[in-house]
């Protein structure tokens, strides 16, 4: 079906609404006015004036809308015409409704009617004639909304800006006038009911008197002549009939109920026109908050008070758009930097880990005296070489894992797949077995990392969801940083299943011999790194605290918990991993 031109649609809507309103007003006003209702001559006068006004409105509407196309365009003049037409229409309609009310009151006063009745009937005429104006305003605004807004990105429309007080007056005066009409009808209904009840009372008294007089008359002829002279209502009661004298007209009250319902619907629609400006601005703000690169729709404001808000919003939007573009460029730069760092770390891992593993392996071969015996001085030197290389290898592993986990904390900087982070259901026994595989025994047997599992044989072990490889390596690195500060000693990593479920790992120094200054240095590093991690800093302030930061990042990503019970004389750490 072909879409009507806006001019044709509004003209057709106006014609149908005007004809229906004229017929309704001609019928409703006399019914609502009660005994003060105007006569048939007023109905003819009103119908002729309404049809003439409707014809003039059809001619007038063609002038502002003749240049408007069938489709919305970005032409500022066309958009202004579509925006201003409903406002001009409602202004003219209100003037017409007011003119009909005043003319009706003047007509009745000129015909000799009381001034109070004339004013009441004029107010009723104004209210009944007001609805076509409101309906035309809402209908024209709905039809021309797309033409006033224009295509996407057209910007705010220019034109008439109504004050908020004017819109509220338009919406609130309808129920106020309806209440006034209702009070008039209630008063009229009470007066009519009183008159009917008084008439019934006097009719009953006349009936009793007529019965008494008729009984005193001597003959039938006299009784018949007396009955013919009585009022019809008394004659009916003498004949045994009981007409319903209290029969009030229900049509006025039905019309009033219809007007109240129509006022509720129309008032709701008019109220929505008041809030449309704020809703449009709110939609623009929601679009800004969404991560949508497309430009937001411009706010379609029509009130004076919201025009300033829309202008300020345009300026804010321009600034936010520039900031968003800058943030996107910065995010892209950071992603490129993270990718470059990942490549660098991958090369660093290969270039450093491979030579260190070779050095450690050959040192172990020499210490095992496979190629021949060595003296005590050579054994001491090779032991120092092995422990230094083992500590450096763990330090490199800590930096690499910490860099990968830091990438997981930055949205868009890294993915789980690229970091190799793979959480899976794992038991304490599985984690202990993987940790034993990673622990490298000291060939001099001076320091030791002991792995203990506290679980009864055959006991069903509940699983926790975490990455076993990263978790086992982090525990090994943390325990290794403690034995680096010892000449001789033992660190235990014990695994248990707490009552709340999951897996719990506890790192504790069992025995230690060495320089007090070395112990104090590692305690200070652990204390500073723990404080940095709990303040949620983006990276380590001191790289020597990388083992502690690594533990914090692991429990943060995996949803666990980390507790350092004490730092003196040696740190005691408890890591809790949540159940599946």
Contact call for residues 557 and 414 (beta carbons, < 8 A): no
In the predicted model, what is the mean pLDDT of residues 307-312? 69
Dmax (CA) for the chain in angstroms is 168
Using a 10 angstrom Cβ sphere, with 0-12 exposed, 13-18 middle and 19 or more buried, the burial of residue 329 is exposed
CA separation for the pair 470, 406 (Å, rounded): 13
Number of folded domains in the chain? 2
In a domain, residue 483? The reply is yes
In a domain, residue 500? The reply is yes
pLDDT digits (tens, 9 = 90+) for 13-41: 778 877 877 887 777 677 656 555 677 77
Residue 449 has pLDDT above 70, yes or no: yes
**16 and 155 part of one domain:** yes
Q: What is the 3-state secondary structure (H, E, C) of 215-263?
A: HHCCCHHHHHHHHHCCCHHHHHHHCCCCCCCCCCCCHHHHHHHHHHHHH
CA angle 388, 391, 397 (to 5 degrees): 140
CA separation for the pair 154, 298 (Å, rounded): 8
For 122, phi then psi, to 5°, come to: -65, -40
Q: The domain that contains 569 carries what CATH number?
A: 3.30.565.10
**266 and 373 part of one domain:** no
For 200, phi then psi, to 5°, come to: -65, -40
Indicate the pairing of strand 447-453 with strand 488-496.
parallel
**262 and 172 part of one domain:** yes
Provide the domain limits for residue 447.
347-577
**73 and 170 part of one domain:** yes
CA separation for the pair 529, 549 (Å, rounded): 6
**60 and 179 part of one domain:** yes
**25 and 104 part of one domain:** yes
More confident residue, 29 or 505: 505
pLDDT digits (tens, 9 = 90+) for 149-176: 777 666 666 666 666 666 666 666 666 6
Name the token pair of 470. 């990263």
CA separation for the pair 331, 320 (Å, rounded): 16
In a domain, residue 323? The reply is no
In a domain, residue 233? The reply is no
**157 and 255 part of one domain:** yes
Give the pLDDT of residue 540.
Answer: 46
**257 and 385 part of one domain:** no
In a domain, residue 228? The reply is no
CA separation for the pair 200, 558 (Å, rounded): 91
In a domain, residue 292? The reply is no
End-to-end CA distance of the chain: 60
In a domain, residue 563? The reply is yes
Residue 246 has pLDDT above 50, yes or no: no
Handedness of CA 518, 524, 526, 529 (dihedral sign): negative
Name the token pair of 70. 């069938």
CA separation for the pair 46, 57 (Å, rounded): 16
**67 and 175 part of one domain:** yes
pTM confidence score: 0.46
Domain end residue (candidates: 230, 261, 280): 280
The residue written with tokens 């076993």 in the block is 468
The H-or-E segment that residue 525 falls in is: helix 516-534
In the predicted model, what is the mean pLDDT of residues 240-258? 57
**131 and 32 part of one domain:** yes
> Dihedral of the CA atoms 195, 198, 200, 201 (nearest 10)?
180
Q: What are the residues facing 333 on neighbouring strands?
A: none
**272 and 352 part of one domain:** no
**Model confidence at 248, in pLDDT bands (50, 70, 90)?**
very low
**421 and 273 part of one domain:** no
CA separation for the pair 576, 558 (Å, rounded): 10
Q: Please spell the DSSP secondary structure of 365-412, one letter per residue.
A: HHHTTSSS---HHHHHHHHHHHHHHHHHHHHHHHHHHHHHHHHHHSTT
In a domain, residue 90? The reply is yes
Contact call for residues 236 and 243 (beta carbons, < 8 A): yes
């Amino acid at each position: 079906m072909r879409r009507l031109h806006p001019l044709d649609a509004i003209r057709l809507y106006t014609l149908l609404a005007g004809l229906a309103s004229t017929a309704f007003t001609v019928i409703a006003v006399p019914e609502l006015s009660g005994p003060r209702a105007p006569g048939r001559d007023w109905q003819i006068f009103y119908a002729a004036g309404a049809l003439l006004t409707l014809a003039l409105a059809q001619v007038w509407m063609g002038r502002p809308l003749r240049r408007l196309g069938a489709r919305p365009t970005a032409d500022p003049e066309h958009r202004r015409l579509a925006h201003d037409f409903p406002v001009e229409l409602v202004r003219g309609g209100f003037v017409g409704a007011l003119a009909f009310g005043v003319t009706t009151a003047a007509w009745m006063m000129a015909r000799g009617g009381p001034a109070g009745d004339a004013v009441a009937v004029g107010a009723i005429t104004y209210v009944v004639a007001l609805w076509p104006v409101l309906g035309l305003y809402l209908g024209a605004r709905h039809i021309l909304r797309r033409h006033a807004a224009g295509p996407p990105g057209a910007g705010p429309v220019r034109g008439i800006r109504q004050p908020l007080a004017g819109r509220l007056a338009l919406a609130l005066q309808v129920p106020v006038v309806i209440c006034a009409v209702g009070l008039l009808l209630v008063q009229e209904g009470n007066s009519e009911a009183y008159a009917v009840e008084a008439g019934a009372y006097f009719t009953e008294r006349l009936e009793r008197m007529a019965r008494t007089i008729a009984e005193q008359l001597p003959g039938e002829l006299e009784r018949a002549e007396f009955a013919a002279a009585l009022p019809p209502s008394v004659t009916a009661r003498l004949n045994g009939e009981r007409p319903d004298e209290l029969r009030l007209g229900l049509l006025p009250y039905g019309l009033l109920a219809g007007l109240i319902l129509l006022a509720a619907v129309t008032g709701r629609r008019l109220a929505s026109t008041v809030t449309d400006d704020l809703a449009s601005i709110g939609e623009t703000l929601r679009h800004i908050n969404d991560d949508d690169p497309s430009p937001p729709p411009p706010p379609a404001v029509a009130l004076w008070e919201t025009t300033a808000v829309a202008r300020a919003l345009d300026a804010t939007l321009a600034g936010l758009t520039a900031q968003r573009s800058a943030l996107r460029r910065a995010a892209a730069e950071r992603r490129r930097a993270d990718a470059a760092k990942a490549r660098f770390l991958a090369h660093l891992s290969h270039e450093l880990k491979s030579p260190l593993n070779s050095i450690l392996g050959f040192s172990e071969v020499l210490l095992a005296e496979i190629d021949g015996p060595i003296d005590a001085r050579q054994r001491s030197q090779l032991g120092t070489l092995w422990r230094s290389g083992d500590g450096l290898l763990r330090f490199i592993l800590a930096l690499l894992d910490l860099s990968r986990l830091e990438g997981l904390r930055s949205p868009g900087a890294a993915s789980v797949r690229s970091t190799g982070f793979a959480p899976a259901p794992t038991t304490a026994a599985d984690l202990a077995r993987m940790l034993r595989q990673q622990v490298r025994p000291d060939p001099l047997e001076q320091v030791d990392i002991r792995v203990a599992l506290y679980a009864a044989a055959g006991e069903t072990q509940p699983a926790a969801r975490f990455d076993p490889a990263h978790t086992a390596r982090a525990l090994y690195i943390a325990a290794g940083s403690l034995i680096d500060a010892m000449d001789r000693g033992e660190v235990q990593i014990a695994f248990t299943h707490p009552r709340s479920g999951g897996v719990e790992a506890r790192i504790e120094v069992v025995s230690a011999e060495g320089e007090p200054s070395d112990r104090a240095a590692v305690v200070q590093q652990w204390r500073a790194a723990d404080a940095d991690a709990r303040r949620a800093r983006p990276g380590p302030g001191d790289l020597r605290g990388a083992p502690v930061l690594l533990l914090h990042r692991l429990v943060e990503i995996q949803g666990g918990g980390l507790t350092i019970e004490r730092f003196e004389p040696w740190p005691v750490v408890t890591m809790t991993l949540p159940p599946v």
